[in-house]
Amino acid sequence: MSNVRPETMERITTPELANAFIDEQVKEVRAQVGDKKVLLALSGGVDSSVVAALLIKAIGKQLVCVHVNHGLMRKGESEQVIEVFKNQLDANLIYIDATDRFLDLLAGVAEPEKKRKIIGGEFIKVFDEEASKLEGISFLAQGTIYPDILESDGVKAHHNVGGLPEDMQFELVEPVKLLYKDEVRVVGKALGLPASMVDRQPFPGPGLGVRCLGSITRDRLNALREADAILREEFDNAGLNKTVWQYFIAVPDMKSVGVKDSKRYEGWPAIIRAVNTTDAMSATIEEIPYALLHKITARITAEVDGINRVLYDLTPKPIGTIEWE
């Protein structure tokens, strides 16, 4: 399979087209892999999850999934990976909680690019260590999708295209590399993955590491994770998850004074970012009903320890990028 999508290739928009694609890929993967083992870094994101489900269908236990929890996941994400893949799909899953390892390395590091490099570099190290413990791995599966191939010219420093150590001698298995994101979601649904996983919004490789602005502390990271979970829950309840492409919280490394239980106390602000985009090259700001913003503010300031203000980011892209860091 070449890296260029044929012009005749139909967009996968229906379960029928998805099933035809799955059958074709199952055949191709079996032909490529034979009776050998395949290794996959399973992040829990849409692309790697769909690749995992597709390969489990094709080769079952010959696929070894490694899920590294770097401590920068959103609330409940690692738990969902274990539930879906280990408990429901009976995958050959290795789970590594490397939270302390990552957070210790990130202590005191404020510069965004440096944080990204530490997270990306350590991720490869942890994954590499696990890979070297395994016997007889001949292939490496990746959730590369078509936009990654179109963009792999250095735009995304942390992306999986070209991010692997030189000395890893594996042949690649990339079953969804000619698909666009919307098609990957249709295929994921046809494979029986839960909507909460398949419809997940894009999440940067460094995770909450680039939303806990400046140098990451455990208490602020924890506040960010809880505030983000409230925002996502309220957007889901209001049906905005259907119309808003990406929404999240960023928490800066600064405090302001507030009042709680009639006492003054210092806390961090939580910044809401909610944007719409078709290609992530430009983004527009969504109209969020004020009543909902008030509700989210009330919940975050009441339920999340350490946060005493909620702000709404009104900046489109360009001028502001989607992420803060």
What does 142-203 look like in DSSP terms, one character per residue?
----HHHHHHTTTS-TT-STT-S-TT---EEE-TTTT--HHHHHHHHHHTT--HHHHTPPP-
Same domain, 24 and 118: yes
Q: Is the pLDDT of residue 156 over 60?
A: no
Mean pLDDT of the 131-160 span = 76
Under the banding of pLDDT at 50, 70 and 90, the label for residue 151 is confident
The pLDDT of residue 90: 93
Q: Under DSSP, is residue 264 helix (H, G, I), strand (E, B) or coil?
A: strand
The pLDDT of residue 286: 84
Strand partners, 265: 258
Q: Which of 153, 175, 198 is the last residue of a domain?
A: 198
Kindly give the residue spans of alpha helices, DSSP state H, lying in the chain.
15-33, 46-59, 77-81, 99-106, 112-133, 146-151, 181-190, 195-198, 218-237, 290-303
Q: Is the pLDDT of residue 240 over 80?
A: yes
Same domain, 183 and 262: no
Same domain, 218 and 179: no
User: Do 115 and 209 meet the contact criterion of CB atoms below 8 Å apart?
Assistant: yes
Under the banding of pLDDT at 50, 70 and 90, the label for residue 234 is very high
Query: Torsions phi, psi of 265, nearest 5?
Result: -150, 150
- Of 64-78, 104-118, 146-160, 295-309, the poorest mean pLDDT is in 146-160
The pLDDT of residue 148: 84
The pLDDT of residue 261: 84
User: Do 185 and 199 meet the contact criterion of CB atoms below 8 Å apart?
Assistant: yes
More confident residue, 153 or 185: 185
Which residues fall within 8 angstroms of residue 47, CB to CB, at 6 or more apart? 143, 144, 145, 176, 181, 184
Report the CATH number at residue 243: 3.30.300.10
Mean pLDDT of the 293-306 span = 97
User: Do 313 and 273 meet the contact criterion of CB atoms below 8 Å apart?
Assistant: yes
Mean per-residue pLDDT over the chain, rounded: 91
Q: Is the pLDDT of residue 300 over 70?
A: yes
The pLDDT of residue 155: 41
Same domain, 135 and 276: no
Query: In 3D, which of 72, 135, 141 has the Cα closest to residue 105?
Result: 72
Task: Please tell me the total count of domains within the chain.
Answer: 2
% of the chain surpassing 70 pLDDT: 94
Q: Is the pLDDT of residue 201 over 90?
A: no
Residue ranges with strand state E in 261-316: 263-276, 284-285, 307-312
Cis geometry, peptide bond prior to residue 318 (ω within 30 degrees of 0): yes
Report how far residue 26's alpha carbon sits from residue 204's, in angstroms, rounded to the nearest whole number: 29
Q: For residue 274, give its domain range.
A: 211-312
Q: Is the pLDDT of residue 160 over 60?
A: no
The pLDDT of residue 174: 95
Same domain, 80 and 164: yes
Q: What is the pLDDT of residues 162-198, one digit of tens each?
A: 444 555 578 899 999 999 989 999 999 999 999 989 9
Under the banding of pLDDT at 50, 70 and 90, the label for residue 278 is confident
Query: Torsions phi, psi of 249, nearest 5?
Result: -110, 140
Strand partners, 101: none
Under the banding of pLDDT at 50, 70 and 90, the label for residue 79 is very high
Per-residue burial over 77-98, b = 16 or more CB atoms within 10 Å of its CB, e = otherwise: bbebbbebbbeebebbbbebeb
Q: What is the pLDDT of residues 245-265, one digit of tens each?
A: 899 999 999 999 998 888 998
Same domain, 181 and 224: no
Report how far residue 320's alpha carbon sits from residue 282's, in angstroms, rounded to the nearest whole number: 9
Residue 92 lies in a domain: yes
Mean pLDDT of the 150-161 span = 50
The pLDDT of residue 57: 97
Same domain, 61 and 184: yes
Residue 121 lies in a domain: yes
% of the chain surpassing 90 pLDDT: 77
Mean pLDDT of the 20-28 span = 97
